[in-house]
Amino acid sequence: MTKQFTAMCIMILKQRGLLTYDTKLTDIFLNFPEYGNDITIKNLLQHTSGLVDFYDLIPKNQKEQLKDQDVFNIYKTENRLKLKPGSKFEYCDGNYVLLAMAVEKVSGMSFAEFLEKNIFKPLKMNNTVAYEKGISTVKNRAYGTTKMNGKYIETDQNLTSATLGDGGIYTSLMDYYKWDQALYTDKMVSFETLNQAFSNGVRDSESGDSYGFGWGYFFMGGKKILYHTGGTVGFTTVVVRIPSEKFTVVIFTNYNNLDIWRKYVKPIVKMYTSL
């Protein structure tokens, strides 16, 4: 669920005139390799950067958890792209790690501080944080689990659990409700800026859905359906928003490999909406 918050940080900076969606990766990070010359902020937001996902580049002998700077360093040692920037949608978590670092570079604040000052505190999301081990605390948090040999075991962290921009936010259902309701307002950015997150997206040739800024979307019965899923070791999440009906389904589970969409989302949407 973190990517929608990361995208909002970028939209806030854009509205303040501190960057544009056409700003190049190498304009922000002067020491980024030359292959970043053609990658824009918009490419990162919409997963059209052409970057090789950092998951595929992690050294086989890696023992310590990767942080955002480690991902940046991995990309610095690369000399190639998977695809030409802007040519095709290809989901890549590394895009949002780099966006979080861009927020830090442009704002002069840590990503966690920027989120707290510009989103969490104004919306009174008091139980939400960009989690950093040894810095942040999360009271009464749920720990991830996986079912193995008929038993549930704790599987809470892996090598990539410490990166922030792609999946580092911890929140609660009530806090997420505050965020959801704020997306119907101009509390954070203007409606014009906000609507750009949900429109003019890039089409995923495999699913047929489109991807805006931190949100996927498609149309059903003439209504726009916004959504995002999330999954990591021990956790599965999904959010579906139908703005025209002011209806949202939010499911957070501390269990992975769960078919939430088929088992829960579809029946709930059918039960409570006209779709």
Residue 208 pLDDT > 80: yes
* Whole-number pLDDT of residue 133: 76
Confidence of residue 274 (pLDDT cuts 50, 70, 90): confident
Other beta carbons less than 10 A from residue 269's beta carbon: 18
Instruction: Indicate the SS3 state at residue 170.
Output: strand
Closest CA to 97 of 56, 125, 57, 69: 69
| Residue percentage of the chain with pLDDT more than 90 | 75
Predicted pLDDT at 183:
98
Looking at the chain, the whole-number percentage of residues with pLDDT higher than 70 is: 100
Residue 146 has pLDDT above 90, yes or no: no
State yes or no: pLDDT of 194 exceeds 80: yes
Give pLDDT, residue 31. 94
Ramachandran quadrant class, 196 (left: phi over 0; alpha: psi -120 to 50; beta: rest): alpha
Band (pLDDT 50/70/90 cuts) for residue 259 is: confident
Q: Is the pLDDT of residue 253 over 80?
A: yes
More confident residue, 259 or 264: 264
Q: Which of 67-71, 144-148, 269-273 has the lowest mean pLDDT?
A: 144-148
Q: Is the pLDDT of residue 258 over 90?
A: no
Per-residue pLDDT, averaged over 91-119, amounts to 97
User: Per-residue pLDDT for 62 more than 80?
Assistant: yes
Put residue 5 in one of left, alpha, beta given phi > 0 → left and psi -120 to 50 → alpha.
alpha
Please, are residues 227 and 240 in contact by the beta-carbon 8 Å criterion? yes
Q: Count of alpha carbons within 13 Å of 199, Cβ hemisphere only?
A: 8
Predicted model pTM: 0.94
Domains identified in the chain and CATH numbers: 1-273 (3.40.710.10)
Helices 93-107 and 2-15 cross at an angle (nearest 10°) of 40
Q: Contact at 8 Å (CB) between 72 and 165?
A: no
Task: With cut-offs at 50, 70 and 90, classify the pLDDT of residue 252.
Answer: very high
User: Six-digit token pair at 6?
Assistant: 């990361």
Q: Is residue 162's pLDDT more than 90?
A: no
